[in-house]
């Protein structure tokens, strides 16, 4: 997730509260354009495709002209494409990449959620965001994940779109599977979705795991490295999830201002929390189940890992130091 302008957030929160839980599409006046021909590349696959003449009035009711071009239903969820301009061949490429990433996300949680709704939407970013350089963004909550890209920009590359959609899907599934944490949230002025940095860390960590397992770790790393900071140097190769996350964490520690009024302030960033969570994931072979328990309740840290939060953060920072020297 990226920071939105406040007005957008309020509209979106309202929209979510009133409408997003359960259903997103409201019937409205039919689209006057005749439906385009069915994409044959998609027909050949085991997807159910429908042209959709409703509009995304509920998600974006303040911009009712945004029309859904078509909907693709798979075993993993329902994908809504709003962009009439995307060539059908490209949709097939998007779908392949989306499905791979969403499957990985579902596997992390160990169960699928067939009511998942996924939106791929073209938007006017100038109306929405302060950051004029941003061209892709997204959010995920309660079984609904969406990504959007600037209507003045090129259609985002398949890798980038699938990667961001997967991140947002993890947020959407955290709600569905009640994967919540008592890690302290960021204070004002960040009271909304992106204030939960352990959830951001978990999403970022799973993205890197996916990158590793799919052979795209370097792409994931480069995306993260260049999205938040000026990039001056990149590792030519990243060989492991730990290497990618640790490098990002070190960069983040040097650049970010942390929230020193909060406990565990050093973990109040996507990359430091992702690196820390991955450290726990690997720690003493504890794996996923131990990580999930301590993610849900950080007070279990000592019982599970033998040291309390402060102790484990200290141990993780020491490990990062050694890693930095080793580089």
> CB 257 → Zn ion: shortest distance, Å?
19
Nearer to Zn ion, 192 or 305 (CB): 192
> CB 253 → Zn ion: shortest distance, Å?
19
Radius of gyration of the chain (CA): 20
Nearer to Zn ion, 192 or 279 (CB): 192
Q: Which stretch binds Zn ion (CB under 5 A): 1-9, 22-30, 41-49, 93-101?
A: 1-9
Residue with tokens 């959620």: 113
Burial class (CB in 10 A: 0-12, 13-18, 19+), 119: buried
Nearer to Zn ion, 99 or 200 (CB): 200
**Strands (E) located in 101-229:** 117-123, 136-141, 144-150
Tell me the per-residue interface mask from 198 to 217 with Zn ion, x by CB under 5 A, - otherwise. Answer: --x-----------------
Query: How many residues belong to the site for Zn ion (CB under 5 A)?
Result: 2
Nearer to Zn ion, 6 or 50 (CB): 6
Handedness of CA 246, 247, 251, 252 (dihedral sign): negative
Identify residues 222-251 at the interface with Zn ion (CB under 5 A). Answer: none
- Rounded Cα–Cα distance for residues 1 and 16 (Å): 16
Nearer to Zn ion, 91 or 141 (CB): 141
Q: Which stretch binds Zn ion (CB under 5 A): 7-15, 72-80, 83-91, 196-204?
A: 196-204
> CB 2 → Zn ion: shortest distance, Å?
8
> CB 270 → Zn ion: shortest distance, Å?
7
* Helix (H/G/I), strand (E/B), else coil: 221: helix
Nearer to Zn ion, 68 or 172 (CB): 172
Query: In the sheet that 117-123 helps form, which strands lie side by side, from edge to edge?
Result: 48-51, 70-74, 77-81, 117-123, 144-150, 136-141
Contact 150, 123 (CB under 8 A): yes
Examine residue 1 and tell whether it contacts Zn ion (CB under 5 A): yes
- Rounded Cα–Cα distance for residues 113 and 176 (Å): 8
Applying CB under 5 A, which residues contact Zn ion?
1, 200
């Amino acid at each position: 997730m990226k920071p939105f302008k406040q007005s957008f957030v309020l509209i979106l929160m309202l929209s979510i509260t009133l409408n997003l839980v359960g259903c997103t599409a409201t019937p409205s006046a039919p689209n006057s354009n005749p439906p385009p021909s069915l994409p044959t590349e998609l027909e050949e696959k085991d997807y159910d495709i429908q042209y959709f003449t409703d509009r995304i009035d509920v998600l974006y009711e303040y911009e009712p002209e945004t029309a859904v071009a078509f909907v693709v239903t798979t075993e993993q969820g329902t994908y809504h494409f709003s962009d009439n301009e995307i060539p059908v061949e490209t949709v097939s490429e998007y779908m392949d990449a989306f499905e791979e990433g969403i499957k990985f996300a579902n596997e992390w949680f160990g169960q699928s959620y067939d009511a998942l709704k996924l939106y791929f939407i073209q938007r006017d970013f100038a109306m929405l965001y302060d950051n004029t350089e941003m061209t892709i963004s997204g959010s995920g909550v309660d079984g609904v994940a969406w990504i959007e890209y600037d209507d003045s920009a090129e259609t985002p590359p398949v890798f980038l779109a699938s990667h961001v959609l997967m991140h947002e899907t993890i947020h959407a599934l955290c709600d569905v599977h009640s994967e919540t944490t008592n890690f302290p949230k960021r204070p004002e002025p960040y009271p909304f979705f992106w204030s939960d940095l352990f959830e951001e860390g978990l999403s970022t960590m799973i993205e890197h795991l996916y990158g590793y397992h799919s052979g795209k770790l370097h792409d994931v790393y480069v995306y993260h490295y260049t999205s938040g900071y000026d990039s001056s140097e990149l590792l030519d190769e990243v060989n492991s999830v730990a290497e990618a996350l640790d490098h990002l964490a070190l960069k983040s520690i040097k650049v970010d201002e942390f929230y020193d009024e909060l406990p565990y302030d050093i973990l109040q960033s996507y990359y430091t929390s992702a690196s820390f969570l991955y450290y726990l994931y690997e720690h003493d072979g504890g794996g996923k189940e131990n990580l999930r328990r301590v993610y849900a309740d950080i007070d279990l840290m000592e019982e599970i890992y033998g040291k309390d939060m402060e102790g484990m953060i200290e141990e993780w920072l020491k490990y990062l130091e050694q890693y930095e020297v080793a580089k």
